[in-house]
Amino acid sequence: MTIKSNNKQTRISPQIPLVKTILLGSMLILTACGGGGSNDATSEKDDPKVIVDQDKDGIADDKDLCQTTPAQLASDVDTNGCHADEKNDSDGDQLVDAVDQCPNTPTAYKDKVDATGCHTDTTPTVDADGDGVADAMDHCPVTPQANKDNVDAQGCHSAEVADKDRDGVADTIDKCTNTHKDAVNIDADGCDDGEYYITLSAINSGRLEFIADDGQFFSRDHSYYIGRNRDREGATYIEKENGVDVTKYRDVLNTNDDYMYRHHKYGPKFEYRLPVANGSYFAKLHLVETLWNSEVGSRVFDVAAETENNKVLTAIDVHQATAGRNIAYQAITNEISVDDGQLNLYFIASTGDAMLSGLEIVKKVHQDHDEDNDGVKNINDMCIFTPSDYIAHINDNGCAPDELDDDNDGVINAMDNCANTENIANFPTTNRLVDANGCSLDQLDNDNDGKADHIDQCDNTPAGEANVVNAKGCSASELSLLTQAFKEKDGLLVVEMESTNYPAGWHLKTGDFATGNQYLEWNGGNFFATPHTNPTTAGYIDVDIKITNPGTYRFIWRSVIGHGTNFTEHNDGWIRIEANNFFGYKQKDNSTVCPREQLASNACVETIPVHGGSGQGFIKLYRGGGPADYWTWISNVSDNNAHSLYATFDNPGEYKLTIAGRSKYYGIDRFVLFRDSAFAANNNAGPTRTFWNANLVSHPESSRE
């Protein structure tokens, strides 16, 4: 692989594809309180090293990115000690929304605001174009008189923002109104020289399949190495609806594809390894700066190809390029020549973390040329790279039948082994996941046992047992395995919920970035006060665990809310561990809570009563914060006074853990027990862990025996 460098970085307007996307390579598929949930922040604020906490939000100053959180917000901060309103500065005037009385100040005025976040021109008397919107709030301050009585809340008439050809030049001043949307070079008049980029493959980094506003299909994240996924900080805010807190999404400017920009892959260094045909390519990067406290120079990174020294983009600073936060930005790399069948991209940070929301692999072509020599010019060719042996069968749009995607699943007919996959135009709201062969999980039956993979709890049933499986797709020998104990090793025990012997009431769901591509969602009744006394009705999941390193373990699970946007509803479940001591603990005030009606084996001694539901030895475990549809490891007990959950095992041996349904639509992916380093006195010998190195989704599931 060689690099042809022209050191080009460019900003591109949204795009409309002229070809169907071909997925390159295999895709790596990688909360309801009801009767009294809580939105307390993570109990990681209970770190035993806490010494100074000047804003009294529970996060030690040495870990607190917002050390002056107002008292009225201090009870609802995230793990960085920040309330949602402290992380957002919608207008980029360096005054967070929590105290900004003018949160939509236009860019032209953002550096000239007073202590309240308002420019002096916010008075009604200063309105140069007379459209009724004060200049400091007017995004179009010179609206023509003929249009001044018909402007939007930002002071703009539709004619001032219309851009029919999506070339970034408003129609009112565009001298070439049919410029190709992917044109390489566009001048101030909106005209180009005929060269444009054509997308061959697109990836939604860190998330699921997605169809962009312009029709471009983005596959779910795949072919990446290292890197972590993060949902967009500052993308949400809380608004009351009928007295209830509801999570709302803030707009990402300069795009209609907010879904893609609300998350990203990030890290000091990560890479993508993409199988492609040999040839010359460019990479188009979709980026946005989201950190609430970002500034010019706070995040700077390079992009390299083949090796870390071959830079194809340097010193990317999205905040500087967009002059603010939460503004979509696209950059094109230098040309990359591939001769080994694999395009390697390295994202390397020099300051902060590198990040990426979306990735497109593109080629540069000319509208008047005919790339595939099929007699159809590129500008009119919907299939611009038709193979020579297909040309005799092309239609008027330059496409042969095998190049089309009849079921619109993002996989062309020639590569599609499941030609009738349900149309996925509603991604990402649907959960119909498609693999590289164009097949969704309900079309696949890996072990040929008559149970589709999306409902098959045992999807590798031996051939000789495939005709005698139960409703979950499990044979007798596999059912026997489901009752074996999971073994803790080196102070860590990890269990995927789909591996348990779960009863009716729990629904096996696929995708949504569950760690094993499957998770369980409670679809039975709501049992808010105490678990239902009937184990079948309550959906008891009994899990036997084997402890080899006695000590005090912390319990956490990875969960998601499967219905609605209110993060204090559908956000909890019941948990009981038959340990020598099963309790909730808060380091900050050294308080302990115990489950009500605790088991005889439980030596828990409370210092304060538990708040919220509890009974029969169970305690309610809830997730804290939002957004509702994102996975989180935050797992607390005791409403409005968050305590972490612990279990002490005095001796090696087998113990029982039981999970039961509490709130409908609460989803659980996996749970973890880890020997907590915070309890040094209880764990003098043997391995210990912290919350942050115990919740890694890369940890494999524990073995059974």
Percent of the chain with pLDDT over 90: 35
Do 300 and 321 belong together in one domain? yes
> CA 573, CA 591: separation in Å to the nearest integer?
22
> CA 207, CA 516: separation in Å to the nearest integer?
15
Structure tokens at 472: 């979950």
Mean pLDDT confidence for 107-135 = 69
Do 472 and 496 belong together in one domain? no
**Quick one: which of 588, 628, 543 has its CA closest to 249?**
628
pLDDT of 627 above 70: no
Do 201 and 321 belong together in one domain? yes
The CATH number that applies at residue 496 is: 2.60.120.260
Among 320, 345, 365, give the residue marking a domain's end.
365
Q: Which residues face 199 on adjacent strands?
A: 362
pLDDT tens across 15-55, in order?
323 233 332 332 222 223 333 333 333 333 333 443 577 77
CB neighbour burial string for 385-399, b if at least 16 within 10 angstroms, e if fewer: bbeeebeeebeeebb
Do 469 and 593 belong together in one domain? no
Do 451 and 565 belong together in one domain? no
Structure tokens at 287: 């980026």
Do 319 and 394 belong together in one domain? no
To the question of pTM greater than 0.85 for the whole model, the response is no
Lowest model confidence (mean pLDDT) among 33-47, 359-373, 686-700: 33-47
**Quick one: which of 479, 483, 494 has its CA closest to 543?**
483
Lowest model confidence (mean pLDDT) among 235-244, 390-399, 688-697: 235-244
User: Which ranges constitute the DSSP H helices of 39-188?
Assistant: 84-87, 158-161
Do 623 and 656 belong together in one domain? yes
SS3 543: strand
In a domain, 541, yes or no: yes
Do 604 and 681 belong together in one domain? yes
pLDDT of 656 above 80: yes
pLDDT of 162 above 80: no
Mean pLDDT confidence for 124-146 = 74
Query: In the 3-class helix/strand/coil scheme, how is 402-469 assigned residue by residue?
Result: HHCCCCCCCCCHHHCCCCCCCCCCCCCCCCCCECCCCCEHHHCCCCCCCCCHHHCCCCCCCHHHCCCC
More confident residue, 65 or 40: 65
> CA 437, CA 453: separation in Å to the nearest integer?
15
pLDDT of 363 above 60: yes
pLDDT tens across 518-565, in order?
899 999 999 998 888 898 899 999 999 999 999 999 999 999 988 876
List the domain range (segments joined by +) for residue 276: 2-16+196-208+222-365
Do 390 and 539 belong together in one domain? no
The answer to whether the peptide bond before residue 652 is cis (omega within 30 degrees of 0) is: no
Judged on CB neighbours under 10 Å (0-12, 13-18, 19+), 419 is middle
In a domain, 435, yes or no: no
pLDDT tens across 613-624, in order?
889 999 999 997
pLDDT of 239 above 70: no
SS3 536: helix
531 close to 539: Cβ distance less than 8 angstroms: no
Q: What is the pLDDT of residue 139?
A: 66
Do 553 and 608 belong together in one domain? yes
Number of domains in the chain: 4
**Quick one: which of 41, 44, 39, 51 has its CA closest to 691?**
44
In a domain, 100, yes or no: no
Q: What is the pLDDT of residue 429?
A: 42
Do 357 and 243 belong together in one domain? yes
Do 657 and 689 belong together in one domain? yes
